[in-house]
Amino acid sequence: MIYITEAQSAAIVTPDLAFDAMRAAFIAAVSPGAVSFPVVLGHGSDPQNRFTVKSAAAADVSGLKVGAYFPTNDARGLPRHASTILLIDQSSGRIGALVEGSAANCYRTAAADAVATDALARPDAQVLTLFGTGHQAAYEARAIARIRKLTRVLVVGREAKRTADFVAKLRQSGLPAEAESAETAVRAADIIVTATTATAPLFDADWVCAGTHISSMGSDATGKQELPPALFNQAHLFCDLPEQSTRIGEFQHASGAAPTAIGAVLKGEALGRRQDSDITIFDSSGISIQDLHMAQAILHAFQEDAAAS
């Protein structure tokens, strides 16, 4: 078994590696033979410390990811999130590689957003509205800035001090960020990204302008919700995996919804944006095939580096 530590995977992963891996993963997810198995939701001895197990198989890869969210880590000065991916050796059934990938998971999630947004947002989109001021939100902003030339990044947060600190962090990285109210930010947006743990809509459907693309990145469990359901009837709906999106993703709140897998758009088998005035929504509840492709890309880079040493 090959073991890649958190430090090693963090040193290997790049935005480009993540983007290419996510594009390949979305396409693999809609290809013959691909299977995403039911998600297992669990918690630690302290019920507020949660974890999920997501597993899948595709043409050339199978395995699982254990993703943990331990808010009690705050008191220890440790990150809340942890991610560990196991790749199954296809010839023996044993663990072929174990990849610690907490930092890589941040790149993976943001790259999934970037791939979908690149396929669905208007080419001339310039204003990003970002809901959320957490660790992942910063990755989302930087990923979108790589696929569109942003002139404004409008940040909506719950706490003024935290939002100001987050805006300053984005500005230090070269992004034209500023704090804004929810309504003003949504009305000005070409692209809206929600990266929160919300359990109720973050804005009103009436605030969204024609031509806007929206990515919901935070809804990945029953009861989570970031978007107003009234918006769904006005928009074209896309997701990473339809059966999961309508069960635990954002579209659990869209009665009778039949979202299109983004992989089908990337393969040219389904339409994405039809016209500039369309509202498009991408729901990312996260699928294991993404994690497996990410781990596979890191593994290949790791082996190449080892061979070159």
pLDDT digits 0-9 by tens, 136-175: 999 999 999 999 999 999 999 999 999 999 999 999 999 9
Is the pLDDT at 306 greater than 90, yes or no?
Answer: no
Round to whole Å and give the CA distance between 218 and 110. 11
Would you state the structure tokens that stand for residue 54, as one six-digit string? 């997501």
Is the pLDDT at 297 greater than 80, yes or no?
Answer: yes
**Kind of pairing, strands 2-4 and 280-283?**
unpaired
Protein fold of 2-105+289-308? ornithine cyclodeaminase, domain 1 (3.30.1780)
**110-286 is a CATH 3.40.50.720 domain:** yes
Would you state the structure tokens that stand for residue 159, as one six-digit string? 């706490």
Dihedral sign from CA coordinates of 142, 145, 151, 156? negative
Domain segments of the chain: what residues? Answer: 2-105+289-308, 110-286
Name 29's Cβ contacts closer than 8 Å, sequence gap at least 6: 36, 58, 240, 241, 261, 263, 287, 289, 290
Element (H, E) at 297: helix 288-308
The catalytic position among 54, 65, 224, 267 is 65
Identify any residues that bridge with 36 across adjacent strands, giving them in sequence order.
56
pLDDT of residue 80: 85
pLDDT of residue 274: 96
Name 251's Cβ contacts closer than 8 Å, sequence gap at least 6: 232, 237, 239, 245, 257, 259, 283
The question of whether 65 is a catalytic residue gets the answer yes
Name 169's Cβ contacts closer than 8 Å, sequence gap at least 6: 138
